[in-house]
Amino acid sequence: MKKLIMMLAVALIPFLGTAQIKKANIQASGLTCSMCSIAVLKSLKTVAFIENIESDVETSTFKVTFKEGQNVELDALQKAVEKAGFSVSKLTFTMNVDNLNIKNAAHTAVQGKTFHFVNVKEKTLNGDVEFKLLNKNFISAKEFKKVKDKLSTETNTRVYNVTL
């Protein structure tokens, strides 16, 4: 039995490292001045898995790169922006994937996270791919209203609704 478990673990190792969230672009809403931008920047700096942040005051965006090998919690990014007193109006992230099969309205598990794909064609993704989060609190209320009927409403696990 121990040998079987060990062989299974060794066989699964190549699949464990097939995806890594590398960076994200966060657009915050409600920022009216550079002090607002600084508040969001300071709040994002408290997130442990962030390596670097570049901010653009004119577009209210923050380019975030993550520490290699760290588990990236997308909800922590939204909470950091909210903690500063603002909201996320758009969040895209780049993930390096290897043979990730996707299709519309289907769930795909990647690195312990469940992604539900919206408005995509069936295909296999490789390399650095940019995804856009469509969950409430990650897009504007106006945009959420347009897509909410296409999103997964599963409640027993965290599902990230994404599109390309």
Query: What structural domains and CATH numbers belong to the chain?
Result: 20-163 (3.30.70.100)
Q: What is the pTM of this model?
A: 0.83
Sign of the CA dihedral with 107 first, then 110, 112, and 118 last = negative
Q: pLDDT tens track of the chain, all 164 residues?
A: 444 444 434 334 334 445 789 999 999 998 988 899 999 999 999 999 999 999 998 899 999 999 999 999 999 999 999 999 999 999 999 999 999 999 999 999 988 899 999 999 999 999 999 999 999 999 999 999 999 898 988 778 899 999 99
Sign of the CA dihedral with 10 first, then 49, 29, and 79 last = positive
> How large is the C-alpha radius of gyration of the chain?
17
Nearest residue to 86 (alpha-carbon basis) of 140, 50, 49, 132: 140
Which residues have a Cβ under 8 Å from the Cβ of 85 and sit 6 or more positions away? 30, 36, 39
